[in-house]
Amino acid sequence: NADSSVTLGQKVPVTTRLNAPEFVTNRALLRWISDIVVLTKPENIHWCDGSDAEWTALTAELVTGGVLIPLNSELRPGSFLARSDPDDVARVEDRTFICSVNEADAGPTNNWRDPDSMNAELKVLFDGSMRGRTLYVVPFSMGPFGGPISQVGIQITDSPYAVLNMRIMTRMGFDALAQIDDKTPWVPAVHSVGQPLVDESGLRIADSAWPSNSTKYICHFPETREIWSYGSGYGGNALLSKKCFALRIGSYMGLQEGWLAEHMLILKLTSPEGKAYHVAAAFPSACGKTNLAMLRPTVPGWKAETIGDDIAWLRPDADGRLRAINPEAGFFGVAPGTGEITNPVAMSTVWGNTIFTNVALTDDNDVWWEGMTEKTPSHLIDWRGEDWTPDSGRPAAHPNSRFTVPIQQCPTLADDWFESAGVPLDAIIFGGRRATNVPLVAEAFSWQHGVFIGATVSSEKTAAAEGTVGELRRDPFAMLPFCGYNMADYWGHWLALGEKMGANAPKIFQVNWFRKDDDGSFMWPGFGENSRVLEWIARRVDDEAHATIGAVGLVPSQGSLNVEGLDLNDEVLGKLFEVNEKLWLDECDLTEEFFDQFGDRLPSELTTELADLRGRLSA
């Protein structure tokens, strides 16, 4: 055993009982693990207990192996830097598959594969894929243990980097494993980086600091609630609790069971009068969820507290109110652009105990990325491990570099995060990154109109996924890459839930922080100043702020949005809300084209809303 110098809790060779802890008696679970062991042929098996000792042993092992670089313990205690393979830096949407029995159930916006043929393909890929490696069994709970909205899952992985990240991102370990009895459903998820350490004839192959495979598969079987991920060690491809379970499989579970799995932050706002409001917001990847979730209001008297920054599970309660939990236990946040001025809360959250991936390393062994400080260091080691100076002509940190940090380190964490019942939502916000056309804020006329707004959001692509940054694409509900079933059925599900909640349903809004002027600069200051928009939204929830009917929704009446003290003249303010009828009618044509691909699965309510919008624009 190449790792024999390291003592690791449960890390011993595979035996008949699979080294399972005594209390595990669930036969289906043991059989599943046994099947994966037989298929992937690992050298060792390790059941993750989630303890501090396990964390310490595993990080020490990865430091020794050169996988993690320990950061300066005085500047960034308990923290590490990981550098990925340069070809494994983001989600791979064109390698992400929904394997539903019927192609139509995956819908036109997903890559569909027949489950039987995909299973056959996966069996070949995973055969021996863990040779020479340790297979980790990673039990986790999404949401507080045993909560009414919570779920459990088990990820099998051969990536210790994934294990460490899962420990931060979820409630991971034996406490989660103990949740599983014969009656509790759990989601099985298998992950392999696809780079065995021993070949078929038993010869050792050299390892690399970031094992991965140029062939990648991120597969979901909604009907059997299974996840299989191969070839990538990065983020949403490898931390299967996150996008694979909490969104793709979760969304389909929600369709069957009457709830919603959403790509949303959850924020608690308290007014100067002491009234609390709960808001959820869906923005596409790298479009401002983490920042809004951690916002420091500039409007005097308002307080903001964080509940979640990426994923929300929503379920109507017995009173018909929509309750939200954050199923996660950590942040996997975008580093670039995060600094003391833009997001001081994130900066103080990552004081220590943080795994940084693909950021730059300073000469005193701390981290740096573009936008972290006003002054750029004169020398760095960039995210690829190469010397870097400000005139290198390339970014020091990868644009999709990230920090992984426990949510409990967030100074603005709301107590509600611990509550398994969730918070009742007052408002839902949809947004995107739009340089043109979309106003700073607008309120939907109705739930149905709100669903139309969510369904038609488009946004400029970011570095969070492989592809062309900046290209405009439709990203309905910020769920384009994450909805585990037919998007038209998803809209139908939203409409049905609205119907069910009636007057108790949250109000729906649309925002856009990213509108640009002719010089290409953002017109709205954003970040903490977004509290002005949130204040207007909260006042609208209470029917206090004045609104005017516009073509695309209800917009703030003159003087109703608080812009006091902002360096923003009337002309710029006008431009932030400008709705050009001609350009919007063009967008309507694109919406019609977009809708057409869903055929008769498209809810007729959305066709009605499109006709109404055209009517208002032409009036």
Chain residues that interact with ligand SPV, rule: CB under 6 A = 91, 235-236, 242-243, 285, 310, 332, 464
Identify the CA nearest to 79 among candidates 386, 328, 361: 361
CB of residue 414 to ligand GTP, shortest distance in Å: 17
Asked whether the beta carbons of 402 and 332 are under 8 A apart, the reply is yes
List the single partner that 91 binds among Mn ion, ligand GTP, ligand SPV, none, CB under 5 to 8 Å by kind: ligand SPV
CB of residue 464 to ligand SPV, shortest distance in Å: 4
Question: Which of 286/428 has CB closer to ligand GTP?
Answer: 286
Question: Which of 41/243 has CB closer to ligand SPV?
Answer: 243
507/114 Cα distance (integer angstroms)? 39
Report helix, strand or coil for 93: helix
Question: Which of 11/289 has CB closer to ligand GTP?
Answer: 289
Under the rule (CB under 6 A), what is the footprint of ligand GTP?
283, 285-291, 309-310, 333-334, 336-337, 342, 464, 513-514, 522, 526-527, 530
Q: Is 435 exposed, middle or buried (0-12, 13-18, 19+ CB in 10 A)?
A: middle
List the single partner that 526 binds among ligand GTP, ligand SPV, Mn ion, none, CB under 5 to 8 Å by kind: ligand GTP
Cβ partners under 8 Å of residue 483, min gap 6: 107, 109, 110, 247, 248, 251, 476, 477, 490
Q: Give the β-pairing of 322-325 and 423-424.
A: antiparallel
Question: Which of 118/312 has CB closer to Mn ion?
Answer: 312
How many CB atoms neighbour CB 340 within 10 A? 12
Q: Which stretch binds Mn ion (CB under 5 A): 120-128, 270-278, 309-317, 427-435?
A: 309-317
Taking CB atoms, the residue at the shortest distance from ligand GTP is 337
Question: Which of 352/525 has CB closer to ligand GTP?
Answer: 525
Taking CB atoms, the residue at the shortest distance from ligand SPV is 236
144/147 Cα distance (integer angstroms)? 5
Report helix, strand or coil for 222: coil
List the single partner that 584 binds among Mn ion, ligand SPV, ligand GTP, none, CB under 5 to 8 Å by kind: none
CB of residue 529 to ligand GTP, shortest distance in Å: 8
List the single partner that 337 binds among ligand SPV, ligand GTP, Mn ion, none, CB under 5 to 8 Å by kind: ligand GTP
Identify the CA nearest to 474 among candidates 439, 509, 438: 438
450/554 Cα distance (integer angstroms)? 11
List the single partner that 236 binds among ligand SPV, ligand GTP, Mn ion, none, CB under 5 to 8 Å by kind: ligand SPV
Per-residue binder mask for Mn ion (CB under 5 A), 310-339, x = binder: x-----------------------------
Identify the CA nearest to 132 among candidates 201, 66, 64, 58: 201
Asked whether the beta carbons of 321 and 355 are under 8 A apart, the reply is no
Going by the DSSP 8-state scheme, the letter that residue 429 receives in this structure is: E
Question: Which of 281/552 has CB closer to ligand GTP?
Answer: 281
Identify the CA nearest to 453 among candidates 500, 498, 536, 509: 509
287: annotated active-site residue: yes
Which candidate in 99, 219, 287, 410 is catalytic? Answer: 287
Question: Which of 180/266 has CB closer to ligand GTP?
Answer: 266
Report helix, strand or coil for 336: coil
600/603 Cα distance (integer angstroms)? 8
Question: Which of 151/530 has CB closer to ligand GTP?
Answer: 530
530/298 Cα distance (integer angstroms)? 8
197/455 Cα distance (integer angstroms)? 46
CB of residue 310 to Mn ion, shortest distance in Å: 4
CB of residue 332 to ligand GTP, shortest distance in Å: 6
Residue 463 belongs to what H/E stretch?
none
Rg (the chain; Cα; Å): 24
Per-residue binder mask for Mn ion (CB under 5 A), 267-286, x = binder: ------------------x-
Phi-psi group of 472: left, alpha or beta (phi > 0 → left; psi -120 to 50 → alpha; rest → beta): beta
CB of residue 469 to ligand SPV, shortest distance in Å: 13
List the single partner that 553 binds among Mn ion, ligand SPV, ligand GTP, none, CB under 5 to 8 Å by kind: none
CB of residue 205 to ligand SPV, shortest distance in Å: 28
CB of residue 263 to Mn ion, shortest distance in Å: 6
| Residues counted in the chain | 619
Q: List active site positions.
A: 287
Binding site for Mn ion (CB under 5 A): 285, 310
